[in-house]
Structures are given as structure tokens and as C-alpha cells.
């Protein structure tokens, strides 16, 4: 029977755990409400948590020397988000992670995660699977950035993640896809600049 414990369910979808193991796992998480525009990760601070999005939407981005920001990741319901570089290596973050809507996350601290992994090999397996998926996902993105042009990247994105397109502002999507908002606007409206 599918319980209404999202984290336990998530775990069960990936590793063969008992109900008790799933319950123990989910007990390590804390539910936190995050208001729109609130940051859950900021540069300079060491990231304490890995976050599962229960409700809402987030954007992870970096800001370069001249104020230009690049979106690193989005996350909506049932996705995970944090600055993994900071979280995993426990060093200061370089990214911002901000709520795009009023949201609810389930967060697990780095210490608790370590404890879980030590306690039960299946949890270790789970996090390994997560990491592998994340890596695979990122590799796909790198490839797409190298091989596709702006318009192709956009159409691939709306096909793969239609739910996200509807929920994030266009400037965020543009900066995720590596183009200007103006150019994205033009792609959408199919009317490319031309000298009449």
C-alpha cells in the first residue's frame, strides 16, 4: 500500500527496504516551510542540508563577477536540490538556492545523512544511486549545451520538462538554457529578427 510519506516512498522506489527501514530513514528529515524569494543556500555559507521538495519550486544559480546570473538547476515536487559541491565537501557554497514559490521542503542534515549511511548499507546504496542519477543528468546537460543551438535546447527542454516551463520565470529558463531572455522570447514567438 502506498503510504503518504513521500520520503519513505521515494526511498522504496529505489532500494528494497522494509517499512521500518523506510520509516527510520524518513525520520531523519525535517519539514520546513520556505517562503517565496527566501534562500535556502547562499554563497559563503557551508551548506548543511540536502533538500527534497515536497511542494513548491526552487532555482539554484550563480552570479558572476559582473552580476550576470546563470541558473544551475531547478527543482519542483519530488526533486532534490542543494549546492552539492558545498554539501558533499562541506565547504562554502558558491550558489544561491531560492524559492520561486511558497514551498515546503524535507531537509536532512549532513551529519544525519552520514549516520544513516553508516547504519544501513541500503541507505548508502540509495545515496549512491541518487549521486549517479545526478551525474548522469548533468552529463546529458553538458552534452546538450555542447551540441545543440539555443532553439534546439529550448525545444528539448519543453519536451522533457513541460511542468517546469510553466512554473519558472522566463529569465530563469533562459539563463538555464544559456541564452538571453530576449532571445528566448524570440524563439517562443517564432518571429526572428529580420530586416523587412
How far apart CA 121 and CA 24 sit, in angstroms, is 13
Q: What is the grid cell recorded at 23?
A: 520509516
Q: Give whichever of 37 and 133 is closer to a copy of itself, judged by the CB atom.
A: 37
Q: How far is the CB of 102 from a copy of itself (least distance, A)?
A: 9
Q: Say whether 115 sits in a helix, a strand or coil.
A: helix
Task: Output 14 or 48, the one with its CB closest to a copy of itself.
Answer: 48
Rounded Cα distance between 112 and 118, Å, is: 10
Q: Please, what is the minimum distance in Å from the beta carbon of residue 182 to DNA?
A: 4
Q: Mark 19-38 with x for binding to DNA (rule: CB under 7 A) and - for no binding.
A: -----------------xx-
Hey, which residues between 25 and 64 contact a copy of itself (CB under 8 A)? 33, 35, 37-40, 42, 44-46, 48, 63
In the complex, the smallest distance separating the C-beta of residue 2 from a copy of itself, rounded to whole angstroms, is 28
184: left (phi over 0), alpha (psi -120 to 50) or beta: alpha
Compute, in degrees rounded to 10, the torsion defined by CA atoms 164, 153, 72, 169.
-40
**DSSP states along 29-64:** -EEEEE-TT-EEE-TTSBP-EEEEEEESEEEEEEE-
Binding mask 92-111 for a copy of itself (x = CB under 8 A): ----x---------------
How far, in Å, CA of 195 to CA of 148, rounded?
26
Query: Measured from the CB of residue 146, what is the shortest distance to a copy of itself in angstroms?
Result: 30
In the complex, which residues of this chain contact a copy of itself (CB under 8 A)? 33, 35, 37-40, 42, 44-46, 48, 63, 67, 96
Judged by the rule CB under 7 A, the positions of this chain that interact with DNA are 36-37, 149-151, 169-172, 178-186, 188-189, 191, 193, 196
Amino acid at each position: 500500500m502506498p503510504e503518504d510519506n513521500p520520503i519513505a516512498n521515494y526511498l522504496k522506489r529505489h532500494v528494497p527496504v522494509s517499512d521500518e527501514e523506510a520509516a527510520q530513514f524518513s525520520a531523519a528529515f525535517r519539514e520546513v516551510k520556505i517562503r517565496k524569494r527566501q534562500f535556502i543556500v547562499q554563497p559563503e555559507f557551508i551548506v548543511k542540508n540536502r533538500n527534497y521538495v515536497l511542494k513548491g519550486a526552487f532555482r539554484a544559480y550563480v552570479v558572476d563577477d559582473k552580476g550576470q546570473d546563470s541558473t544551475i538547476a531547478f527543482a519542483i515536487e519530488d526533486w532534490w536540490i542543494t549546492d552539492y559541491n558545498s554539501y558533499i565537501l562541506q565547504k562554502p557554497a558558491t550558489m544561491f538556492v531560492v524559492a520561486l514559490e511558497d514551498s515546503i521542503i524535507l531537509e536532512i542534515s549532513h551529519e544525519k545523512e552520514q549516520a544513516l549511511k553508516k547504519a544501513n548499507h541500503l541507505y548508502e546504496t540509495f545515496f549512491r544511486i541518487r549521486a549517479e542519477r545526478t551525474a548522469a543528468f548533468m552529463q546529458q546537460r553538458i552534452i546538450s549545451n555542447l551540441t545543440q543551438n539555443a532553439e534546439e535546447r529550448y525545444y528539448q527542454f519543453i519536451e522533457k520538462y513541460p511542468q517546469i516551463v510553466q512554473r519558472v520565470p522566463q529569465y530563469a529558463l533562459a539563463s538555464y538554457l544559456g541564452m538571453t531572455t530576449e532571445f528566448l522570447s524570440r524563439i517562443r514567438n517564432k518571429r526572428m529578427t529580420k530586416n523587412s
